[in-house]
Amino acid sequence: MAKIAFIGLGNMGGPMAANLAKAQHHVTAFDLSDSAVAAAVEKGAHKAATAAEAVKGAEVVVTMLPAGKHVREVYEKDVLPNIGKGVLLIDCSTIDVDSARHVAALAAKAGLEMIDAPVSGGVGGATAGTLTFMVGGGDAAFAKAKPILEKMGKNIVHAGASGNGQAAKICNNMILGVSMVAVSEAFMLAKRLGLDAQKMFDVVSTSSGSCWSLVNYCPVPGPVPASPANRDYQPGFTAAMMLKDLMLAQQAASAAGASTPLGAEAAQLFSLFVNSGNAAKDFSGIVRMLDGK
Ligand code: NAD
């Protein structure tokens, strides 16, 4: 089994590291939050006091960090200066394509293989080990990483060269942001028309309006017991993270000359939601803003 350094043990990284430890890998874990490290140790990981200490002697490094600036900083300052040849680098964070390609180029310059491997499936998928991984990088790195990723996920897709995993991810999350707004609007319209939320769910979940935002992550309490709506919109996936991803999609669309008017509208709505004090709420809480609350 491999010696794996895992950096970033938040809502997603925590359960992902736990699944690697459960699969008998030797996981050394680091996060800026002591309580996140303690939780990982409880699930079988070994504690590191710094990121540099975590990567010493590792064969594989996995990172699950908030955004591109964190990934650049951790690889530039902590990871790359402290590892030897032959270490495989896997960044699972959702970040901008440029940062992903920048860090992969630094790794290549140091003679190291790196993949961007962002995920879909949320905290539920991270915990159950059923995430979808979308991977950008070379064939050899992908082949090496696959058995590790299979301990954390069910669908592992090689999306192409470095950065293409991130490209797939921002396209997916643009759909997610738009569909969550659409589902939320429909529930609020139903409410005002006197249609019960459960009845609406029963109809739409088996009709042509069905989608992941409705069936797995229903934004109103009741129909889907595991959804954050049933626990006062505790994340889950924060509204701040959704806004980050929608902004990444808008930047990419602008750079590539793609027309994404609904993506732009969703970015505006999540910006309003986040800036009215809801950054740390689950993104499905946008239903409350659309309800006028
Ligand atoms: P989170 O905020 O819960 O976790 C991030 C962790 O990184 C935190 O524990 C933080 O302390 C740690 N961290 C930040 N800077 C660090 C550093 N320099 N060194 C060590 N640790 C550091 O976020 P999350 O929800 O776990 O999301 C992580 C990534 O996964 C994001 O890029 C997000 O977009 C993506 N993602 C999240 C979900 C989800 O449902 N939460 C789903 C898919 C993808």
Ligand 1 center from residue 241 Cα (angstroms) = 9
Ligand 1 center from residue 207 Cα (angstroms) = 35
- The residues lining ligand 1, judged by C-beta closer than 6 Å to any ligand atom, are 7-13, 30-33, 36, 51, 64-66, 70, 73-74, 93-94, 119-120, 122-123, 236-237, 241
Q: Show which residues are catalytic.
A: 169
How confident is the model over 210-265, as pLDDT tens digits?
Answer: 999 999 999 999 999 999 999 999 999 999 999 999 999 999 999 999 999 999 99
Q: Which of 11, 95, 134, 238 best tests ligand 1's pocket when mutated (most atoms within 8 Å of CB)?
A: 11
Q: Among 173, 252, 77, which residue's Cα sits nearest to residue 63?
A: 77
Cα angle, residue 127 at apex, residues 124 and 61 outer, rounded to 5°: 125
Q: Among 122, 116, 74, which residue's Cα sits nearest to residue 95?
A: 116
DSSP for 47-102, written as a single string:
E-SSHHHHHTT-SEEEE--SSHHHHHHIIIIIIGGG--TT-EEEE-S---HHHHHH
| Token duo for residue 115 | 């993949």
C-alpha span between 8 and 31 (Å, rounded)? 5
Atom in ligand 1 nearest the alpha carbon of residue 9: 9
Atom 1, ligand 1: which residue's CA is nearest? 10
What residue ranges define each of the domains in the chain, with the CATH number in brackets? Answer: 3-161 (3.40.50.720), 167-290 (1.10.1040.10)
> To the nearest whole percent, how much of the chain has pLDDT over 70?
100
Atom 12, ligand 1: which residue's CA is nearest? 8
Atom in ligand 1 nearest the alpha carbon of residue 74: 18
Give the count of beta carbons closer than 10 Å to the beta carbon of residue 31. Answer: 24
Atom in ligand 1 nearest the alpha carbon of residue 33: 11
Whole-structure pTM value? 0.91
Ligand 1 center from residue 10 Cα (angstroms) = 5
Q: What is the mean pLDDT of residues 265-272?
A: 98
Say yes or no to pLDDT of 129 above 90. Answer: yes
Burial class (CB in 10 A: 0-12, 13-18, 19+), 236: buried
In the chain, the N- to C-terminal Cα span, in Å, equals 51
Ligand 1 center from residue 11 Cα (angstroms) = 7
Q: Among 257, 253, 256, which residue's Cα sits nearest to residue 245?
A: 253
How confident is the model over 35-83, as pLDDT tens digits?
Answer: 999 999 999 999 999 999 999 999 999 999 999 999 999 999 999 999 9
Q: What is the mean pLDDT of residues 165-190?
A: 97
Atom in ligand 1 nearest the alpha carbon of residue 36: 9
Q: What is the mean pLDDT of residues 74-102?
A: 96
Band of pLDDT at residue 293, cut at 50, 70 and 90: confident
Ligand 1 center from residue 8 Cα (angstroms) = 6
How confident is the model over 144-154, as pLDDT tens digits?
Answer: 999 999 999 99
Atom 20, ligand 1: which residue's CA is nearest? 31
* Residues composing the chain: 293
